[in-house]
Amino acid sequence: QVQLVESGGGLVQPGGSLRLSCAASGFTFTINTMSWYRQAPGKEREWVAIITSGGSTNYADSVKGRFTISRDNANNTLSLQMNSLKPEDTAVYYCYVRTLRSYWGQGTQVTVSS
């Protein structure tokens, strides 16, 4: 079955960096568009970034220029490099794919605080 397992979250100071990873299995990773979403406390889940099977990317305005989404098709891994982190980036970050239906990972907590 489809599995998405995020890792790499943690506590970081404002201005710092983190790299999230999502290990994918149970579907043909190479042909699917992959996304990152996040959900802050008390807020709705929001889209963060997307990468197509061909490597085209797009970002939410709030993270453009600071975050970079990438994929390693050889290892079925999705990544999100987050730089210049701000307190408002604090959220649970989720990996997402839609094949015949939508699948979400369990999420990884990112906390940006001094």
pLDDT tens string, the chain, 114 residues long: the values are: 999 999 999 999 999 999 999 999 999 999 999 999 999 999 999 999 999 999 999 999 999 999 999 999 999 999 999 999 999 999 999 999 999 999 999 999 999 999
Q: Residue 38: its pLDDT value, please?
A: 98
Report residue 15: phi and psi, to 5°: 90, -10
User: Which pLDDT score is estimated for 21?
Assistant: 98
